[in-house]
Chains A and B, each alone.
Chain A
Amino acid sequence: MHKVELAERPDWRTTALREGFAFHTIDGERYWDERGYYQFSEAQVMHGLHAPTAELHAMCLDAVGRIVESEALMTRLAIPPAFFDLVRRSWLEGQAHLYGRFDFSYDGKGPAKLIEANYDTPTSLYEAAAFQLIWLEEQIQRGVLPAEASQFNTLAEDLVQAFAAMPGHADFYFSTISGSLEDRGTTDFLRKMAEHAGIRTRHIDLEDIGLDGEGRFVDLQGRAIARLFKLHAWEHMFHEDFGQAIAGCDTQFVEPPWKALISNKGILPLLWQWHEGHPNLLPAFVDHSPHLPVPKGWVRKPYFSREGANVDIRTGEGERVFEDGPYDDAPYILQGFAPLPKFGDSYTLIGSWVVGGRASGIGIREDDSLITKDSSRFLPHVVIG
């Protein structure tokens, strides 16, 4: 694994425009950055990333099966008691799930270390599944990259298959909070994948979803929503007005409620407890003293946090790196500090995707700091040999 500098395609912004990739630049800063790429060997990808991704996914599913049978564990994961039954039932019924992303600290040599699992509302999907693939094909066509260059990237194909395997035939609604270009980019891409699978899709803003007198969720025309993809976290929905109507409705939610158990950082201490010493896991514990300073070599994270918010790192040398944020009302965990590898001036994080239960590909983020945030850059990758 190494980083290669490369001239950006002179016309990539036009390509982005044509392809509908609207958020390549955010607040004037590059988000998509093709002035470099990461190169992996096939062995690194298959043994270093693919295999651990598949194994960790199986471990997570196993953990869900254990957690839903224990009210004590669901309490520990901060699931509101009113939703124990919903979460348990969604698992026992085998409600279909679509996708998730593990974030790894990986340098191509030692084992990938699981930083966290984004299993409910992961984004950065379009850039991983589509735009980096288009980049690769163009660079091969133009002779910049060799014909034998490839990617660990069967995301699109696996998404189509996962949608094709979903139960039901009704229209599939895709919902986001209104006004987020990035979220909408993600769901519009997912709609395209669903349509490849022969599914009719519609968009509805989350705020527009209605609840009718019979307890059904309906669209703006009053039609029942039978299948709903929601780019909106379960831990939010549990506390929103419509949360209590979910158990009694017929809507099939994707991701299903049981995903709330894996997207929650509270699962990391459980994984460690049940698989202590696993090479891809970092030591992790529930933090019973969140008011105390973080011990050297540890990281404090809230159960529910996104974009690195409220993450508090104390390096082995005692240096503190902290990202403030709004997620200060949930329990915290302490996780062993695994510094992200540094390539040049940048810290690198690998997002490894699971689609329909398969390890499906990776996307790479770089940041100037140890905490990967919403300002981080997305870089493409190449697999050769």
Chain B
Amino acid sequence: MKPPIRRSSVKLVLAGSLPLALTACGPQEELYTVTQQSNYDSVAACVADNVPEPACNDAFKRALADYQRNAPTFFTPAECEAQFAPGGCQITAGGRYMPRMSGFELQTSAEVTQSQLDAGYAQGGGYGHVATAAVAGMLLGQMGNSAGRHYNAQPLYAYRDGAGQRHGLLGQRYGATGGGIQRVKQDEESSSSSSGGGGGGGYGGSSRNESRSATSASVTRGGFGGQATARSGWGGRSGSFFGG
């Protein structure tokens, strides 16, 4: 029997089939940024917490530079100590008073894929059963000291009333608010045409709305489409089969 004439593989057209070129490594997956903040009173404490020494040194230097540029100053020690812990203020070269830098906050972040994130939650017992910060910490821990981790830092001060203050507690992780997971900004129309939208994940929160306002004022829109709109409505619907 003669073989039938050749036709396309149905796999190319089925809605459920992933783009062939992209199956294995999945750059089409949603990306999430996981972050974790930890407070240290010294570089040594940072290193002792298994953070690479260069990252600790760098974080300390960055925090110190930030402190020297941006720390609040006061005319009298009393004004300073009204906000910061007793004895926590020092005089500046200019004769004013500023809080001592009592340590630094290290922020560690990395991008993970949706499937890595799902695996992280699964290990913790599932969504809703495990705190975001715990998952963030676990995922970052699993990444080891790979190049995918990014660090940032800022100075810490000892506040008079530590409770509820973001930088109030030294040497301690933040519990529920000390880590975060945020979807990497990406407009929802990108990629994955077959999904029909899919919606933005339930955590983190995408920031698609800001994108419209981010465009520069000199951009004009609406310059395409007017002609066809003028002719649509003819014959009751806007189809274009076997059209032009």
Q: Contact residues of A with B, CB < 8 Å?
A: 18-20, 23, 26-27, 31, 42, 45-46, 101, 103, 118, 120-124, 129-130, 133-134, 136-137, 147-158, 160, 171, 175, 177-180, 182-183, 188-189, 191-193, 195-198, 200-213, 218-222, 230-233, 236-237, 239-243, 245, 263, 304-307, 309, 325-327, 349, 351, 361, 365, 372-376, 378, 383-385
Which residues from chain A contact B12 at a C-beta distance below 8 Å?
156-157, 160, 193, 196
Report yes or no: B5 in contact with A152, Cβ–Cβ below 8 A.
yes
Which residues from chain B contact A195 at a C-beta distance below 8 Å?
19, 21-22, 28, 191-193
Known: A177-B228, A218-B215, A240-B224. A305 touches B189 (CB 8 A): no
Which residues from chain B contact A101 at a C-beta distance below 8 Å?
242
Which residues from chain B contact A31 at a C-beta distance below 8 Å?
241
Report yes or no: B244 in contact with A263, Cβ–Cβ below 8 A.
yes
Chain B 161-198 interface residues, beta-carbon cutoff 8 Å to A: 187, 189-194, 196
Known contacts A327-B231, A373-B235; 18 further A-B pairs (Cβ under 8 A) = A27-B237, A123-B241, A137-B10, A160-B12, A180-B240, A192-B193, A195-B193, A196-B12, A196-B21, A197-B21, A209-B221, A221-B187, A221-B211, A233-B244, A374-B235, A376-B241, A378-B241, A383-B5
Report yes or no: B235 in contact with A150, Cβ–Cβ below 8 A.
no
CA–CA, A375 to B232, complex, Å? 15
- What's the A-B contact tally at a CB cutoff of 8 Å? 238
Q: Contact residues of B with A, CB < 8 Å?
A: 1-10, 12-16, 19-22, 28, 187, 189-194, 196, 211-212, 214-216, 218-229, 231-232, 234-244
Q: List 28 A-B contacts (CB under 8 A).
A: A19-B15, A124-B241, A157-B9, A175-B224, A177-B225, A182-B238, A189-B193, A191-B193, A192-B13, A193-B12, A195-B193, A196-B20, A197-B21, A205-B225, A211-B219, A211-B223, A236-B227, A239-B227, A240-B224, A241-B223, A263-B244, A306-B240, A325-B234, A325-B235, A365-B242, A372-B242, A374-B235, A383-B5
**Distance in Å from the Cβ of A34 to the closest Cβ of chain B?**
16
CA–CA, A120 to B239, complex, Å? 16
9 shortest A-B CB distances, which residue pairs? Answer: A242-B223, A150-B4, A236-B227, A198-B21, A195-B19, A213-B218, A191-B193, A130-B13, A241-B223
Report yes or no: A121 in contact with B243, Cβ–Cβ below 8 A.
yes
Which residues from chain B contact A306 at a C-beta distance below 8 Å?
240, 243-244
CA–CA, A173 to B17, complex, Å? 21
Report yes or no: A241 in contact with B214, Cβ–Cβ below 8 A.
no
Report yes or no: B194 in contact with A188, Cβ–Cβ below 8 A.
yes
Which of A123, A130, A218, A220 lies in contact with B187, CB distance below 8 A?
A220
Residue of B nearest to A265 (CB): B244
Report yes or no: B235 in contact with A309, Cβ–Cβ below 8 A.
yes
Report yes or no: A207 in contact with B225, Cβ–Cβ below 8 A.
yes
Among B14, B22, B225, B228, chain A packs the most CB atoms within 10 A around the CB of B225
Residue of B nearest to A216 (CB): B219
Residue of B nearest to A236 (CB): B227
**Distance in Å from the Cβ of B14 to the closest Cβ of chain A?**
7
Report yes or no: A118 in contact with B243, Cβ–Cβ below 8 A.
yes
CA–CA, A101 to B189, complex, Å? 28
